[in-house]
């Protein structure tokens, strides 16, 4: 079986460095918000090109903390794509604000800037974009609309570590961005982790306090905060993996380019890249087929594991029963047709060649 993602293989590449790092961590006697988190924050801010990076426990917390730090809460509306992973929307709900779903572009699967303006009301406070599957959103028109209506822009960059838009990295294209280091992400730890990037000093200070009980000075609490800290040990592991992130992303890009030039099956819609090649870091290689379920079964029977990202759109989830009667036809079509093929920095040529061969024989 060709696995969808062989995480063990990905991480064994770093085994010796991880063990060395763990030993140093153990010997240090400092296990919370210490040297490793500090250094990782500096290194990741530098990587993204932002002034500040604040480590947090995961991306859901990261997004929630950004919204809280911006003062977004009850009575406020936040515009968000209708076809994102549920965490993006949960963050808005967590703050007591109302998510306003906007349909994506059927070509890129990212929020369609043309649909944003008509969703704006006098309660709108922010636009929360998602660089879905690793492809950077078309930011210029989004930032223009935000400026016109004095809205904040926030990036959910959980799938797009390292992607560039007109030379700048994601994380540095908005007021603040949240990243996830969940093990399967392009930069993944050996457990949960996340970070917030921003160049706004005041916002950074509030965020830094919010992740640590709302406190900047020990035992003095300025805000009603959370306990959402990036773990020292995960930070130590992430520092090691950050060094090869660009290289790993280039391997993903090479596999994606191979798939796109070699898959010839006319019934399959291939991903389209809107900007330059570096605007996509291929967290997922997502194809579309009107016979998606039979294609998935066919591939499985030929020894190829695939995953659907995602089978049910947010507005059809039980948790959001209030939206269950709504129609978002582009989002629904995407959810019924998408299929993610295996892609990772440790895949072998014989594996991705075999996948193309099998797909080209699907009828
Ligand atoms: C993974 C993911 C998240 C959540 O990340 P966690 O660190 O697991 O909280 C949020 N948004 C998107 C788009 C994701 O892919």
At residue 275, the pLDDT reads 86
**Distance in Å, CA 135 to ligand 1 centroid:** 15
Residue spans of beta strands (DSSP E) within 107-214: 124-130, 152-156, 164-165, 168-169, 176-180, 194-198
Task: Report the alpha-carbon distance of residue 92 to residue 154 in Å, rounded.
Answer: 11
At residue 277, the pLDDT reads 96
Pocket probe mutation, ligand 1, options 154, 157, 158, 283, max atoms within 8 Å of Cβ: 158
Pocket probe mutation, ligand 1, options 56, 81, 85, 110, max atoms within 8 Å of Cβ: 85
Atom from ligand 1 closest to the CA of residue 185: 1
Pocket probe mutation, ligand 1, options 180, 193, 310, max atoms within 8 Å of Cβ: 180
The residue nearest atom 10 of ligand 1, judged by CA position, is 87
At residue 125, the pLDDT reads 98
Atom from ligand 1 closest to the CA of residue 60: 9
**Distance in Å, CA 265 to ligand 1 centroid:** 32
Task: Report the alpha-carbon distance of residue 31 to residue 27 in Å, rounded.
Answer: 10
Domains of the chain, CATH where assigned: 7-102+109-239 (3.40.640.10), 245-361 (3.90.1150.10)
Ligand 1 surroundings by CB, under 6 angstroms: 58-60, 84-85, 87-88, 130, 156, 158-159, 180, 182, 192, 194
Q: What is the pLDDT along the chain (363 residues), one digit of tens a residue?
A: 999 999 999 999 999 999 999 999 999 999 999 999 999 999 999 999 999 999 999 999 999 999 999 999 999 999 999 999 999 999 999 999 999 999 999 999 999 999 999 999 999 999 999 999 999 999 999 999 999 999 999 999 999 999 999 999 999 999 999 999 999 999 999 999 999 999 999 999 999 999 999 999 999 999 999 999 999 999 999 999 999 999 999 999 999 999 999 999 999 999 999 889 999 999 999 999 999 999 999 999 999 999 999 999 999 999 999 999 999 999 999 999 999 999 999 999 999 999 999 999 999
The residue nearest atom 14 of ligand 1, judged by CA position, is 158
- Residues identified as active-site: 185
**Distance in Å, CA 196 to ligand 1 centroid:** 13
**Distance in Å, CA 63 to ligand 1 centroid:** 9
**Distance in Å, CA 314 to ligand 1 centroid:** 14
Secondary structure class of 251 (helix, strand, coil):
helix
Distances (CA, A) of 154 to 52, 173, 174, 231, 324: 15, 9, 6, 24, 26
The residue nearest atom 6 of ligand 1, judged by CA position, is 59
Tokens coding 56? 């947090």
What is the per-residue DSSP string for 67-107?
Answer: HHHTT--TT-EEEEETTS-HHHHHHHHHTT-EEEEE-B-TT
Closest CA to 286 of 149, 110, 28, 43: 110
**Distance in Å, CA 61 to ligand 1 centroid:** 10
The residue nearest atom 1 of ligand 1, judged by CA position, is 158
At residue 97, the pLDDT reads 98
């Amino acid at each position: 079986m060709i696995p969808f993602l062989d995480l063990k293989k990905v991480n064994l590449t770093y085994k010796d460095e991880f063990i060395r790092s763990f030993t140093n961590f153990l010997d240090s006697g400092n296990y919370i918000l210490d040297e490793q988190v500090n250094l990782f924050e500096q290194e990741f801010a530098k990587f993204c090109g932002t002034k500040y990076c604040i480590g947090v426990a995961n991306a859901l917390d990261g997004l929630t903390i950004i919204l809280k730090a911006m003062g977004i809460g009850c009575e406020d509306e936040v515009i968000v794509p209708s076809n994102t992973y549920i965490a993006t929307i949960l963050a808005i709900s967590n703050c007591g604000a109302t998510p306003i779903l906007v349909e994506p572009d059927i070509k890129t699967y990212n929020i369609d800037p043309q649909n944003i303006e008509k969703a704006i009301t006098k309660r709108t406070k922010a636009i929360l974009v998602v660089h879905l599957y690793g492809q950077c959103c078309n930011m210029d028109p989004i930032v223009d609309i935000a400026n016109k209506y004095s809205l904040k822009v926030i990036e959910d960059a959980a799938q797009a570590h390292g992607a560039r838009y007109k030379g700048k990295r994601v994380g540095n294209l908005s007021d603040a961005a949240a990243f996830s280091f969940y093990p399967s992400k392009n930069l993944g730890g050996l457990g949960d982790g996340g970070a917030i990037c921003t160049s706004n000093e005041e916002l950074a200070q509030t965020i830094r306090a919010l992740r640590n009980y709302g406190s900047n000075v020990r035992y003095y609490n300025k805000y009603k905060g959370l306990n959402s800290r990036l773990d020292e040990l995960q930070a130590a592991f992430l520092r090691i993996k950050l060094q090869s992130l660009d290289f790993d992303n280039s391997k993903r890009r090479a596999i994606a380019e191979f798939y796109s030039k070699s898959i010839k099956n006319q019934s399959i819609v291939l991903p389209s890249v809107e900007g330059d090649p570096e605007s996509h870091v291929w967290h997922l290689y997502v194809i579309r087929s009107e016979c998606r379920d039979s294609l998935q079964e066919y591939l499985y029977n030929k020894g190829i594991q695939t995953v659907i990202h995602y089978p049910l759109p947010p507005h059809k989830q039980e948790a959001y029963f209030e939206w269950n009667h709504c129609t978002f036809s582009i989002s629904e079509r995407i959810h019924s047709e998408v299929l993610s093929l295996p892609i990772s920095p440790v895949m072998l040529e014989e594996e991705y060649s075999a996948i193309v061969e099998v797909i080209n024989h699907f009828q």
